[in-house]
Amino acid sequence: MQQTIKNIAKKTLESQIFNIRKKFPELEVTSPNEKKYHFEVTVAELQSEVKILVYFGKNGVKTILQGRETSSLYRIITDEIFSQEKLFEEKPIEIANSYIGTDESGKGDFFGPIVVAGFFTTPEISKQLQEIGVKDSKLLSDLQIQQIRRIIDEAFPENYQYNILLPAEYNVEYSKVKNINKILIELHSNVANKLIEKFNSNFVITDKFSKRNLELKRENVTTIQETKAEKYIAVAAASIIARSEVVIWFENLKNKGIELPKGGGNETTKTAQNLANKYGKQNLARICKLHFKNYLKIV
């Protein structure tokens, strides 16, 4: 357990270093230096310097700044970098049980896949998830989502499952059932069943999207379907994993020279029209959800 917390502390500091170097490339930032109870780096500018100390121990991970608080460098680090961490103050709910949380992402995006993820947590793991800033992915930037996902992959690689339904696959499924909730029921049930079997869990919390129950293979599993269930830490972790996969899909296309907007607004319709003119409407099925009104406007 101590090693896990230590790894979380190291990843937390690496994320902070990444943010500083990206926003302020002119600042000198040392590599992480491991001490007995913490990691530290020094950020310097001319004659001024600030130390960032990330402690690890039984109480989790804690970040402390050391430096002259009236200096411009201290204010830069505090206001421009660590002000983002105020987003993490609204912590999700922990519950006493070990349980599985599931959530989906991509349902409202005209472009891109549908992803459903599930995360199994224990009370001990829940505390660690809070320490690394896990919360509803809708409250986080894409960069923050990817940073937290990297920490989750490092610390809890066995605790989650996800299913990704690429646009072409999604369009085939939707043409059969004509109902997105039926597709989501299958995806949520699939990840829940895998985690139930793996961890012998009998408690599942799902972000509510339908009146239908999950199709679970094991009896005597307590299920809760609740709106805004991301307030529960395992559901929030699942939301981050699911959204991370959606973000990765968009970034992969961007790297190939195709930059697509998220959501379902007018910009997505214009982009789809331009792509249809360039590559043909038949190829839109590979990148967008054909039952959206955006596609009907193009047709």
pLDDT tens-place string over residues 178-219: 999 999 999 999 999 999 999 999 999 998 888 888 999 998
Average pLDDT score over the chain: 87
Q: Would you state the pLDDT for residue 5?
A: 66
More confident residue, 26 or 105: 105
Residue 246's pLDDT is 97
- How many Å apart are CA 99 and CA 205, to the nearest integer? 7
Q: Measuring CA to CA, which residue among 284, 5, 268 is closest to residue 155?
A: 5
User: What pTM does this model have?
Assistant: 0.73
What are the structural domains of the chain?
2-86 (3.30.160), 99-251 (3.30.420.10), 261-298 (no CATH)
Encode pLDDT of 279-289 as tens digits: 888 899 999 99
Question: In whole angstroms, what is the distance from residue 176 CA to residue 180 CA?
Answer: 11
- Sign of the Cα torsion 68, 71, 77, 79 reads positive
Give the mean pLDDT of 248-254: 95
Handedness of CA 173, 210, 240, 140 (dihedral sign): positive
Determine the Cα–Cα distance for residues 183 and 104; give it in Å rounded to an integer: 11
β-bridge partners, 60:
57
Q: Is 83 exposed, middle or buried (0-12, 13-18, 19+ CB in 10 A)?
A: exposed
Q: What is the DSSP letter of 288?
A: B
pLDDT at 85 over 50: no
Establish how many alpha carbons lie within 13 A of residue 149's alpha carbon, considering only the half-sphere containing its beta carbon. 22
DSSP codes of every residue in 11-23: HHHHHHHHHHHHH
Q: What is the pLDDT of residues 136-185, one digit of tens each?
A: 898 888 888 998 999 999 999 999 999 999 999 999 999 999 999 999 99
**pLDDT of 54-67, one tens digit each?**
887 655 567 788 88
